[in-house]
């Protein structure tokens, strides 16, 4: 039985919206390096878990700047949908068509800026009948107050706020899978570096038993 409060990896699509070098410079509610790291983590995890990933950028040849290159480097299967004009990515029909083509109804949304690039498509997707998770720590905003207001807004509309590590854990689901160590590497490299020490101590202990 499907749990409506949890992410179903077989029904999920990752949307990375407007993670652009220019917009990153406006972010004040999360450290630049942490935001960038979390976005890269999601791209890598989606690639491992075979989650369809769609990116888009707002006026990339203008002051907002290009999408950070690590997203598509980490996830070469990600589909990029160019757009020019609409601030709300959901108002750009090719973007919605890319989502519809996956036949999936659970959207994992992160965007910079949180109040706009993440929130507007989330609200539109909810109105269109999608299940929406907003990944807060892979989105950045110009103030903590703006983020707090935005989370209240999308939550009241029916979206579920979450974080990068939680998304990773839900998509991984179990250690009893062939890609477990691939997930573990992302975990150590990007999320919980100290977990690497735990794995080393476990490996040493296992070898001593043998």
Q: Report strand pairing: 79-83 vs 131-135.
A: unpaired
Query: Tokens 């903590």 — which residue?
Result: 144
pLDDT at 192: 83
- The residue ranges of every structural domain in the chain are 12-176
Between residues 148 and 200, the one the model is more confident about: 148
- Rounded Cα gap, residues 102 and 113, in angstroms: 25
Q: Taking the domain 12-176, which CATH number applies?
A: 3.40.50.850
Cβ–Cβ contacts within 10 Å for residue 192, how many? 12
pLDDT at 106: 98
Query: Per-residue pLDDT for 206 more than 70?
Result: no
pLDDT bin (cut points 50, 70, 90) of residue 1 is low
**Cis-peptide into 113, omega within 30 deg:** yes
What is the side-by-side order of every strand in the sheet holding 79-83? 79-83, 53-58, 12-17, 106-111, 131-135, 160-162
What is the tens place of the pLDDT at every residue in 79-119?
A: 999 998 899 999 999 999 999 999 999 999 999 999 999 99
Residues marked active site are found at 117
Mean pLDDT of the 142-158 span: 98
């Amino acid at each position: 039985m499907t749990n409506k409060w949890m992410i179903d990896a077989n029904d999920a699509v990752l949307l990375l919206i407007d993670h652009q070098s220019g917009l990153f410079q406006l972010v004040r509610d999360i450290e630049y390096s942490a935001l960038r790291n979390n976005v890269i983590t999601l791209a890598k995890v989606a690639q491992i878990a075979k989650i369809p990933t769609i990116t888009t950028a707002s006026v990339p040849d203008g002051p907002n700047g290009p999408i950070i290159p690590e997203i598509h480097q980490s996830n070469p299967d990600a589909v990029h949908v160019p757009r020019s004009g609409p601030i709300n990515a959901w108002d750009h029909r090719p973007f919605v068509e890319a989502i519809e083509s996956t036949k999936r109804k659970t959207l994992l949304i992160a965007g910079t800026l949180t109040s706009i690039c993440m929130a507007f498509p989330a609200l539109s997707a909810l109105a269109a009948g999608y299940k929406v998770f907003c990944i807060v720590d892979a989105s950045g905003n110009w103030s903590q107050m703006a983020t707090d207001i935005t989370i209240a807004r999308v939550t009241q509309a029916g979206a579920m706020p979450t974080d990068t590590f939680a998304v990773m854990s839900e998509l991984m689901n179990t250690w009893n899978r062939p890609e477990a160590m691939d997930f573990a590497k992302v975990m150590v490299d990007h999320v919980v570096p100290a977990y690497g020490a735990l794995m080393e101590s476990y490996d040493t202990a296992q070898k001593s038993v043998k």
